[in-house]
Amino acid sequence: MRLDESTDTGVAHSRNWLAVVFVLMLIEVAGYFEHAMVLGGIPFFANLFGIDYAAASWIITIFMLTGAASAIVGGKLGDMYGRKRMVLILLTISIIGSLITIAFASFPALLVGRALQGTSAGILPLLIGIARQVLPAKRVPVVIAMMTAVATITGGVGLFIAGMFIDAGAWRLMFAASATFCLLALLAAWWVLPRVQAFQTGTIDWVGATLLAPSLIVLLYGLSTASKSGFDNPLNVVCIVVGVAMLAVWTWWELRATSPLVDIRLLISPRTGKTMLATLLAGLAPLSAYTVYSPLIALSPAELPIGLGMTSTMFGLIAMVGSGVTLAMSPLAGVLARKRGAAVALIVGVGMMIVHFAGLMLPLLHKSIPAYIVLSVLATVGTAFIMSSVYNLIIESVPAESTSEYVGIAQVIRNATTAITTVIVSAMLSSSVVPGTTAPTTTAWNMTMLYVITVSVLVILVALLIQTRRRQSRFDGTSESDQVAVSAH
């Protein structure tokens, strides 16, 4: 495919941009399916291999750990050596992971396979970088919003497909399906995606990469296990402290490296720093809390203060409805980001979540299934708005050549805050329980909702600061990413 590239923006214009968008969506489906397919299979694998739930949950944990390192390192390698090339490499590694699991069908093989599949977490930062690099600029915010929505739908569909295979006792077909999706995505990427010149030159900071990967793995391991067993386990606390200390050493190195893995000065610059702060705060409440408490309120018996008595099937169908509405609504987030700025789209998304949280505090609504369906769909749409807005904010605040690595950083922040939020929300819900049960009282429930509303308001305040600076930059005729790029040279 021949593309006419714009040398000043790095954007390629083509009549075939729709084909590129389709392939980007296909790759995102393949990558996210690998994440979602085992989420409901922990009890099955525990029974299959004769292990406890804690051991079986490692098939999720190890995916997250390798994914954290892949998101940043893979993004940086893509920025330096070509994003298309890195997408092909990561898809190939994911296919190998599936094939290992199918061939050996043992728990150790499953862990190895899931570790290799975890590298697919580095695909989304590369796809966003490719979209910015090869699509017309006015299309990028909408495409990113649609990619976020596709990931949401893939999560629901992935659980459904994997559930069918598990129920039929043909669990290896789940990995065969994953390998097939990745192979189709690989062939489509190789055939359709344009090969464009990498932005960055020089050599990879292997010392920084070597320090970063274990730092993230140790820190996220401590946070993820603490979300299950709490901070009473000394190992969890030690891992978190050691992980933070290792990240401090890594930061010290990056500030002194000639060609750093991550430009820390850009990361803490006013615009990018506020974007990452908004990402962190969003992860501490609106992006993560819903996934913690939604099964609780939906599946708990209706006789309890907080519970609707739904079946798992009904709960899944509501999630599917929310995903469908999200896909239809997602272009609006992109259009809003393009016309008014990603910060405005972020405010709208967080506003949806605040309405959702506030609605669940009202007894008339949190004990009504129809009301819960409406609020649940609103939360799903709001989540997609927030995620796409974060990615578009990164595009607004960093140079084109650094897109993938900073999207990768945002992903790692979200993973870490998800684990932290699980601990916080679970502790709040457990602070006051119905006697003789583990179910939260109305007091504990409302306290949790007040927490997430408060943090959500903080996200809006940060977004307003970002939007104010954006207006000032437009008034001055410059963007912060331009200013950073100039100062870096």
Q: Which of 203, 354, 208 is nearest to 290 (CA)?
A: 354
Burial of 243 (0-12, 13-18, 19+ CB in 10 A): buried
Of 179, 201, 223, the last residue of a domain is 201
pLDDT at 487: 42
Instruction: State which residues form the domain around 312.
Output: 266-489
Judged on CB neighbours under 10 Å (0-12, 13-18, 19+), 383 is buried
Same domain, yes or no: 285 and 250 = no
Question: Where a domain ends, among 260, 276, 292?
Answer: 260
Q: Are residues 163 and 217 in the same domain?
A: no
Tokens at 43, concatenated: 């009890």
Tell me which DSSP letter residue 204 carries: -
* 44 alpha-carbon distance from chain centroid: 25
The verdict on 326 and 283 lying in the same domain is: yes
Same-domain status, 247 and 301: no
pLDDT score at 345: 96
Q: Is 191 exposed, middle or buried (0-12, 13-18, 19+ CB in 10 A)?
A: exposed
**Residues 438 and 319 occupy one common structural domain:** yes
Same domain, 126 and 153: yes
The CATH number of the domain holding residue 358 is 1.20.1250.20
pLDDT score for 439:
86
Q: How many CB atoms lie under 10 A from the CB of residue 363?
A: 11
Q: How many CB atoms lie within 10 A of CB 165?
A: 19
Sign of the torsion formed by the C-alpha atoms of 246, 247, 251 and 253: positive
Q: Give the per-residue pLDDT at 311.
A: 81
User: Is residue 245 domain-shared with residue 315, that is, in the same domain?
Assistant: no
255 lies in the same domain as 292: no
**Shortest CA distance to 326 belongs to which of 121, 157, 124?**
157
Q: What is the pLDDT of residue 406?
A: 92
Asked if 106 and 186 count as a contact pair (C-beta separation under 8 A), the reply is no
In a shared domain, residues 295 and 392: yes
Residues 6+ apart with CB under 8 A from 141: 333, 334, 335, 337, 338, 342, 388, 392, 395
Q: Secondary structure of 451-475 in the HEC alphabet? A: HHHHHHHHHHHHHHHHHHHHHHHHH
* Token pair 């140079």: residue: 399
DSSP 8-state code for residue 278: H
Cα 248 to Cα 50, 166, 211: the distances in Å are 40, 43, 10
Buried b (16+ CB within 10 A) or exposed e, 33-50: bbbbbbebbbebbbebee
> Are both 164 and 197 inside the same structural domain?
yes
Q: Based on the number of CB atoms within 10 Å of its own CB, is 157 exposed (0-12), middle (13-18) or buried (19 or more)?
A: middle
Total number of domains in the chain? 3
Q: Find, among 330, 480, 341, the residue nearest to 406 by Cα.
A: 480
Q: Residues 309, 444: contact at Cβ < 8 Å?
A: no
**Burial class of residue 123, CB neighbours in 10 A (0-12, 13-18, 19+):** buried
Domain boundary among 260, 277, 294: 260
One domain, residues 185 and 214: no
pLDDT at site 42: 82
**With contact defined as beta carbons under 8 Å apart, do 65 and 218 qualify?**
no
SS3 440: strand
371 in the same domain as 281: yes
CB neighbourhood size of 18 (10 A): 11
| Count of alpha carbons within 13 angstroms of residue 286, beta-carbon side | 36
Residues of the chain under the 50 pLDDT cut? 1-13, 475, 477-489
Q: How far apart are CA 20 and CA 60, in angstroms?
A: 31
Model-level pTM?
0.86
Give the C-alpha separation, 442 to 304, whole Å. Answer: 10
